[in-house]
A and B are shown apart, each in its own frame.
Chain A
Amino acid sequence: GIQVEQSPPDLILQEGANSTLRCNFSDSVNNLQWFHQNPWGQLINLFYIPSGTKQNGRLSATTVATERYSLLYISSSQTTDSGVYFCAVEFDTGNQFYFGTGTSLTVIP
């Protein structure tokens, strides 16, 4: 069946460290987005990346659609990076985004 899996579920980093978050998905996709959910619950768009590589400041993302995974890289982490990171996927066959269970990131000073 349809699956969107994220790993790791929880991550604690020292400020300044780098990290890689992973999203695996079960089928061909039209759309893949990475979001950061801040402590107030707002989903902040990070990347729209159904394929390829993008960079935005300290963040970058890569989606290898043929191998059904996406990676989010966070470099030189800051305490403001804390929160939950979600991968959301829209498959070729449907009209909805399927969210992974998220990675909860805590960056400590």
Chain B
Amino acid sequence: AQSVTQLDSHVSVSEGTPVLLRCNYSSSYSPSLFWYVQHPNKGLQLLLKYTSAATLVKGINGFEAEFKKSETSFHLTKPSAHMSDAAEYFCVVSGRKPRSGTYKYIFGTGTRLKVLA
């Protein structure tokens, strides 16, 4: 079974300060982990993905995330927030079933990031 928990439903930061969005996961299979961003009335854009190559993953727009197996976490960070970062962020876990090779995305409930001027 797979699940993902986003620990904060809302996060507010001031422009220019660091961003931390927290995500914990559970997976019976070797997981792939993703962060997606969704701006209002838009689809989902891939920010970054962990696929076992490196524990520190760099994504677009200055975001990065660190995979910590011992803590089953995949937190998203950015050193300095920009007004354009205000959006909904989703943590996703995926893992292929060993026999069928099928997989599906399990989404967290989302974290709404607000950036204050």
Verify that A and B bind, or say they do not.
no
Chain A interface (Cβ within 8 Å of chain B)? Answer: none
